[in-house]
Amino acid sequence: MTEQTKILVIGANGQLGIELTAALQEKHGYEQVITSDIHPPKKQHALFEPLDILDKDRLYALVEKYKVTDIYLLAAILSAKGEQNPMLTWQVNIDGLMHVLELARDAKVSKIFWPSSIAVFGGTTPKQNTPQETVTSPTTMYGISKLSGERLCAYYAQKFGVDVRSLRYPGLIGYKALPGGGTTDFAVEIYHKALEEVAYHCFLKEDTVLPLMYMPDAVRATIELMEVDADEISVRSSYNLSGFSCSPADIAEVIRKTMPDFKIDYRPDFRQKIADSWPNSIDDSKAQEDWNWKPQFDLQAMSAEMLENLKRMKAAKTAVNLS
């Protein structure tokens, strides 16, 4: 009989963590998912233990206390915020990963999920349909830490047989939680501003095309990858993953189809240089071959769901305020 899956989600209160935790609870059962984060939850959504990923002893203690079998290590400092404190970004993103990889090497956990990003690519990477194997020359500490982390994952898998799996996420868009300091945060902020009926001052140029993905697709890709037989996995660094590609102007145009008065202007800041170093589109044929990956949401479908759900949440909040 296989040991019962007991999951520890590290960084569970962030944009991805909140949605991934809910999906893992649905699949494995509420009691099988322990969440942890350096920040307390805004509302109790799971069994929670405070954890700073740099606190190795506490991490080991939690794994022992709950007999954890699988770790989803989401704790990270993202691209834009990371440039404000590059040393801390390296520490959190790399030392945190090393703690978890060492746990698996000591056979204290059996499976790890660790997110990488299209931020591992740089200005010399082919921009269209960026291949799985290509030039990677990241120019942010976030991208450098994710590229280094990918190499660590491949090393631990090859040398120690650690079952670590990873995805190079595009920019993620969801309505259930705000993003946390990334260069692609514009793709979420734009919807909130549209619903607040105020002009959006976009921090990227209107024609900045980037790879993006609706959160339900990212969550499903993660769970599908973690479910596939280990011998089906041919990429132990991190799989390219593609949803759709678009610019801020493309999103504004789709919003205006139902909200014609939506206003946006473009005021590029330091994040423009980061965005310009990233690909326009991603070739994820390896993920398609190895585990039959296929996105379900394009720009139009994502936008419809974002507007519908944010409108519903806004109406509910208004009702509460009026009651």
Residues labelled as active-site residues? 142
Distance CA 243, CA 252 (A): 18
Instruction: Identify residues 175-194 at the interface with ligand VAH (CB under 6 A).
Output: 182-184
Comparing CA positions, the residue from 127, 86, 116 lying closest to residue 278 is 127
Asked whether 248 and 206 are in contact (CB, 8 A), the reply is: yes
For the chain, the straight-line distance linking the first and the last C-alpha, in angstroms and rounded, comes to: 53
Comparing CA positions, the residue from 236, 111, 120, 131 lying closest to residue 169 is 120
Write out the two tokens for 42.
Answer: 């805004």
Which of 14, 96, 170, 216 touches ligand VAH by CB under 6 A? 170
Binding string, residues 88-127; x marks residues near ligand VAH by CB under 6 A = -----------------------------xxx--------
Q: What Cα–Cα distance (Å) separates residue 30 from each residue in 24, 35, 71, 114, 252? A: 8, 11, 15, 21, 38
CB of 69 or CB of 166, closer to ligand VAH: 166
Instruction: Tell me how far, at minimum, the Cβ of 142 lies from ligand VAH, in Å.
Output: 6
Instruction: Tell me how far, at minimum, the Cβ of 140 lies from ligand VAH, in Å.
Output: 8
Instruction: Tell me how far, at minimum, the Cβ of 211 lies from ligand VAH, in Å.
Output: 7
CB of 49 or CB of 276, closer to ligand VAH: 276
* Selected range binding ligand VAH among 26-34, 42-50, 84-92, 167-175, rule: CB under 6 A: 167-175
Residue nearest ligand VAH, CB atom distance: 182
Q: What sign for the dihedral angle of Cα 244, 245, 251, 253? A: negative
142 is a site residue for ligand VAH (CB under 6 A): yes
171 is a site residue for ligand VAH (CB under 6 A): yes
Place of tokens 């040393």: 87
List interacting residues with ligand VAH (CB under 6 A): 78-79, 117-119, 142, 169-171, 182-184
